[in-house]
Amino acid sequence: MPIIINQVTISACQGDITSWQGDMIVNASNSGLFGGGGVDGAIHRAGGPQIAEECAAIRRKQGGILPGEAAVTCAGKLPLLGIIHTVGPIWKGGGAGEIATLARCYLNSLDAACTQGARSIAFPNISTGVYNFPKALACQTALKTVVDYVKERGPGGLPLERIEFICFEKDNADLYDETLKRYSDI
Ligand code: ADP
C-alpha cells in the first residue's frame, strides 16, 4: 500500500533490487566496499566490474566508509544514475547505537540521492541479512526515518518523487505492507 507525503510516493514490494527501474539503488555494503554476499554480491554481479573499480578508488582516497555513511559510484551495466553504497550496523543486541546507525544509513543515502538530483530511489532491507538486525525493528526504523525526512522538507522540497523498499524476502515485504498501512491510516 503506497503512501504519498509532500508529493513523494513511498512504497514497498517484494523483488530483486537489481531489476528495479529508476534513478538510484542503495547497496547494503561493508566498510571496505569490497562486494560480498547478499544484496551486495547481487548488485556487483549485475552491474559488472566498473562498480568495484570505483569502490576501490573510494578505498584508496578515504579508506572505505563507516557504518551509517554512504558513498556513490556509477551503476556499471545497470541502467541507473548510480549506486549509493551504505554500511549498516551489525546487530549486537541493541545497546551499541544500532538503531541510530541504521537511521543514518537511510538519511545519508537520501541526502546522496538528492545531491545527485535523483527522482527515485530504491532501498534493500539494510542490515537484515548477515548483519542480523531484527526485521520488524529495521522496518520501523527505515520507514520512520524516510517518512520524517520527507515531512521535514515540505511539499516540493526534494528532487525525489518515488522512494521504494525492495524486499527480497516475503516476511520483510509483509512487515513493510503492515507498517505502511498503519501510516496511511493516520
Ligand atoms: P547486511 O549485511 O546489511 O545484512 P545482506 O545483503 O546480507 O546485508 O542482507 C540485506 C537484505 O538484502 C536482506 O533482507 C536480504 O534478504 C536482502 N537481499 C539479498 N539479495 C537481494 C536482492 N537481490 N535484492 C534485494 N534485496 C536483497
CATH code of 170's domain? 3.40.220.10
> Does residue 48 register a pLDDT over 80?
yes
pLDDT digits (tens, 9 = 90+) for 86-117: 999 999 999 999 999 999 999 999 999 999 99
pLDDT digits (tens, 9 = 90+) for 126-160: 999 999 999 999 999 999 999 999 999 999 999 99
DSSP bridge pairs for 121: 24, 163
Number of domains into which the chain is organized: 1
Q: Give the integer Cα–Cα distance in Å for 89 and 45.
A: 23
Cβ < 6 Å from ligand 1: which residues?
16-18, 28, 38-40, 42, 88, 124-131, 166, 168-169, 172
Active-site entry in 16, 40, 171, 177: 40
- Can you give the residue range of the structural domain that contains 54? 3-182
Q: Is 159 left (phi over 0), alpha (psi -120 to 50) or beta?
A: alpha
Q: Give how far Cα 83 sits from Cα of 138, 144, 160, 182, Å.
A: 21, 23, 15, 30
**pTM given for the model:** 0.98
pLDDT value at residue 31: 96
Radius of gyration of the chain (CA): 15
> Does residue 185 register a pLDDT over 80?
no
**C-alpha 46 chain-centroid distance:** 17
pLDDT value at residue 184: 85
> Does residue 186 register a pLDDT over 70?
no
